[in-house]
Structure 1
Amino acid sequence: MAWTKYQLFLAGLMLVTGSINTLSAKWADRFSVKGCGESPEHLFNHPFLQAVGMFLGEFSCLAVFYILRCRAAGSPDGSMENQQHFSPLLFLPPALCDMTGTSIMYVALTMTSASSFQMLRGSVIIFTGLFSVGFLGRRLAPSQWLGILTTIAGLVIVGLADLLNKHDDQHKLSDVITGDLLIIMAQIIISVQMVLEEKFVYKHDVHPLRAVGTEGLFGFVILALLLVPMNYIPAGPLSGSPRGTLEDVPDAVCQVGRQPLIALALLGNISSIAFFNFAGVSVTKELSATTRMVLDSLRTVAIWAVSLALGWESFQALQILGFLVLLAGTALYNGLHRPLLSCLTRGRAPADEDERERLLGASRTTINDAS
C-alpha cells in the first residue's frame, strides 16, 4: 500500500528533525570563542545548559498535546479526552532518570564524534531487555536474546573503530574512550527510565505527547535550578569553563554574544526535539513501529554522512560494519525478522497491526530518541 503525502511528510519530518537534533548539538560544541572578560578562546563546552534546552523542547510537546486535544474535543470518539486521571508526580522518577542520562550524553558528545554517539545509543536495547526481565518479570524470546548479543558485538566494533580512527585536536583518544563509556552509562540510566515509564505510566493510558511534555517540564525546572550550584562546583578536567566549574552559565552567555551562530545551533536543538517527538508519535500511529525503527536507523546514516561531508570526522570503514551489526541486533530485538520471514515463506505481506507501539516503548530521542 502506497504512503499518503501526509505519511511521507511525517517520515521526512522525523528523519530531518532527528538528524538536526544531534548535529545542532555537535555544531554548538565545535565553536571556539572567547568568554567573559579576558578569558582565552575556548570551545563551547556547556552540556548541562544544552540539556536544559533539550528539556525545554520536550516541554513544548505539552502545548502540542493541548492543541490536539482542543481539536479533538468536537470529534465523536473524543480519544484524547477519555484518559484516566493520574498524578503528574508519576512522571518525576522517569524524569530524573531522563535528566541524568541526557546530561551525561551531552557531556559525552563533547568527547566523541556525532556518528559514534548516535550508533552507541543503540546499546539501550541491551539494558532495557535485561531490566524488563529483572524488574517486570518478562520473558525474552530467543531472537531478542540473539539481538542483545548481536548489539553487544556491534558496540565492540564501533568502539574499536573509534580507537583506530584519526581524531582531530578536539577529540583526543582518551576523551573518545571516556565519551564512549559515558554514552553506555547514560543508556543504562535511560533504560531504567523506560522500565519506570512502562511500569507506572502505561497503565494510566497517558497520551505519549503528554508524557514527554510532563517529563520535559520536570527536567527543565529541576536542571535549570541545578545550574545555579553548578556554577560553583569545581569539575577539574571535566570542565570546559576557564573557571574550572561544572557549568558556567555567564561564560556561555558571553560566548553566545560573541558568536550568534551558537544561538542558532541551540535553537535548532530545542525546536528539533519538539518536532521529532511529535513526528515519532505520528509515525508510530500512522504507519508502524517498524517504520519508526527504520527511520531512526536512517537518521544515524544521515548524521554520519553530514559529519563526513563537513569534515567533522574522518572515514573509518570498520564503522560501517559496526553500524550494520547494530542494525541487525536492533532488528532482531524488535522482531523485524518475523515479517520478513513471513513474506518469504507465505509470499504475502503480513498485517502491521502488531507492529503498533507507544512512543515511550520505542527508542527515545532525548538527543533524544534524546534527547
Structure 2
Amino acid sequence: MAWTKYQLFLAGLMLTTGSINTLSAKWADMFSAKGCKDSPEHTFSHPFVQAVGMFLGELSCLVVFHMLLCHDRRRPEPKMNTGQSFNPLLFLPPALCDMTATSIMYVALNMTSASSFQMLRGAVIIFTGLLSVAFLGRRLVASQWTGIFVTILGLVMVGLADFISGNKDDSHKLSDVVTGDLLIIMAQVIAAVQMVLEEKFVYKHDVHPLRAVGTEGFFGFFILSLLLIPFFYIPVGSFSNNPRHVLEDALDAFCQIGHNPMIVLALLGNTVSIAFFNFAGISVTKEISATTRMVLDSLRTVVIWVVSLALGWEQFHGLQVLGFIVLLVGAALYNGLHRPLLAKIPCCANMVEEEEGNPAERARLLDEGRVQEET
C-alpha cells in the first residue's frame, strides 16, 4: 500500500528531527567560548544544562496535548481519546530514570563520537528484554534471544572500532572514548528500567502518548533544574571540564552562551527537535505502524554517521559500519521485523505463528512503547 503525502511527511519529520537531536547536542559540545569573569576560552561542557533543555522539549508535548484537546472539544463530536484519569506521580519513577539516563548520556557524548553514541544506544534492547523476563514475567521467543546475542556482538564491534580509532584520533583521548562508551551502556540499563516501569505502572492506565511524554518532561525539567543548584557546589575534580571542576556550572554555561550566541542555536535545535521527534514518532505509530517507527529510528543512526563524516567530526572505520549492520540485524530480530519475510516461506510459516504468540498484546506494547531518543 502506497503511503500518503502526510505519512511521507511524518516519516521524513521523524528521521530529520531524530537526527538533528543528536547532531545538535554534539554540535554544542564542539563550541568554545570564554566563561564568567573573563575565564579562559574553553569547550562548552554542560551535559546537565543540555538535559534540562531536552526535558523542556518533552514538556512542550504536554502543551501540544492540551492544545489538541481544546481544539477537539470545539468539534460537534469530540474524537480524541484522552485515556483514563490517573495520578501524575505515577510518572515520577520513570521520569527520574529518564533524567538520570539522559544526563549520563550527555556526559558520554562529550567523550565519544555522535555515531557511536547513537549506535551504542541499541544496548537498551538487551536490558529491556532481560528486565521484562525478570519483572514482567514475559517469555521471550527464540528470535528475541537471538536478537539480544546479535546485539551484544554488534556492541563489541562498535566498541572495538572506538578503541582502535581512539589510538589515532586526537579529538578524543582513548580513556575518554572507552569511558564514554561504558557510560552510554550504563545509561541503557537505566533506560530499560524506565521502559519496564512505564509498561508495568503507567501504560495500563491508557494514558495518551503526548500526555505521557509531557508529564515525564514536566518532572524531569523541574527536578533537574532544581538540582543544578547543588551541582554548582559539588566538586568532581578532573572528571568535569568546566573551569571550577564542579558537577555542573550553569552560570558558566550562560556566560559562554553570552560570549558565543551560536551555542543557543545548538541548544535550541536540541530542545525543538526532541519535541517534534516525539510528535512524529507517535504519529508514525498511529498513521503507519510501530514497525515503521523502529526502522526509521534505526535509519537516523545512518544519517548521523553520514553527516558526522561529511562535517569531519569523525573518521571512517569499516569495523564501525560492520558493527552497525550487526546491531541493525539484532534489533530486527528482537522486534520481529524478520517475520513477514519468513511467513512467505511455507516451511517457516508455522514457526512464525508460534513466535507471535498473542499478536494483540504485542501490538499494544509496540504502539504504546516510547522509543528512547529523546536525545
Normalising by structure 1, what TM-score? 0.94
Q: Is 1:188 matched with 2:189? A: yes
Q: In terms of mean alpha carbon deviation, does 160-169 or 114-123 score higher?
A: 160-169
Contact persistence 1:285–1:356 (CA under 8 A): no
Q: In terms of mean alpha carbon deviation, does 334-343 or 129-138 score higher?
A: 334-343
Q: In terms of mean alpha carbon deviation, does 69-78 or 230-239 score higher?
A: 69-78
Distance 1:170 1:54 in 2: 25
Q: By how many angstroms is 1:175 displaced?
A: 0.1
Structure 2: gaps (5+ residues): 354-358
Q: By how many angstroms is 1:38 displaced?
A: 3.0
Q: Which one-letter code corresponds to 1:125 in the other structure?
A: I
Q: Is 1:98 matched with 2:98? A: yes
Q: Deviations over 1:23-71 (max 9, x none)?
A: 0000000012111123111110000000000000000000111122223
Structure 1: gaps (5+ residues): none
Aligned to 1:60: 60
Q: Is 1:260 matched with 2:261? A: yes
Q: How does 1:15-26 map to 2 (within 5 A)?
A: 15-26=15-26
Distance 2:105 2:233 in 1: 22
Contact persistence 1:20–1:269 (CA under 8 A): yes
Q: How does 1:64-213 map to 2 (within 5 A)?
A: 64-73=64-73, 74=75, 76=77, 78-81=79-82, 83-165=83-165, 168-213=169-214
Distance 1:168 1:33 in 2: 23
Q: By how many angstroms is 1:238 displaced?
A: 1.5
Aligned to 1:42: 42
Q: By how many angstroms is 1:361 displaced?
A: 1.5
Distance 1:154 1:27 in 2: 26
Contact persistence 2:72–2:79 (CA under 8 A): yes
Q: By how many angstroms is 1:355 displaced?
A: 5.2
Q: In structure 1, the residue corresponding to 2:242 is in which secondary structure?
A: coil
Aligned to 1:340: 341
Over the residues paired in the alignment, what is the CA RMSD in angstroms? Answer: 1.8
Distance 1:319 1:191 in 2: 24
Distance 2:42 2:148 in 1: 40
Aligned residues: 363
Among the aligned pairs, what percent are the same residue? 71
Structure 1 residue runs of 4+, over 4 Å off? 352-360
Distance 2:264 2:366 in 1: 33
Q: In terms of mean alpha carbon deviation, does 68-77 or 298-307 score higher?
A: 68-77
Q: 1:361 aligns with which of 365, 369, 373?
A: 369
Q: By how many angstroms is 1:79 displaced?
A: 3.5
Distance 1:270 1:363 in 2: 17
Contact persistence 2:36–2:251 (CA under 8 A): yes
Distance 2:223 2:367 in 1: 24
1:43–1:168 distance in 2 versus 1, CA, 3 Å? farther
Q: How does 1:206-355 map to 2 (within 5 A)?
A: 206-345=207-346
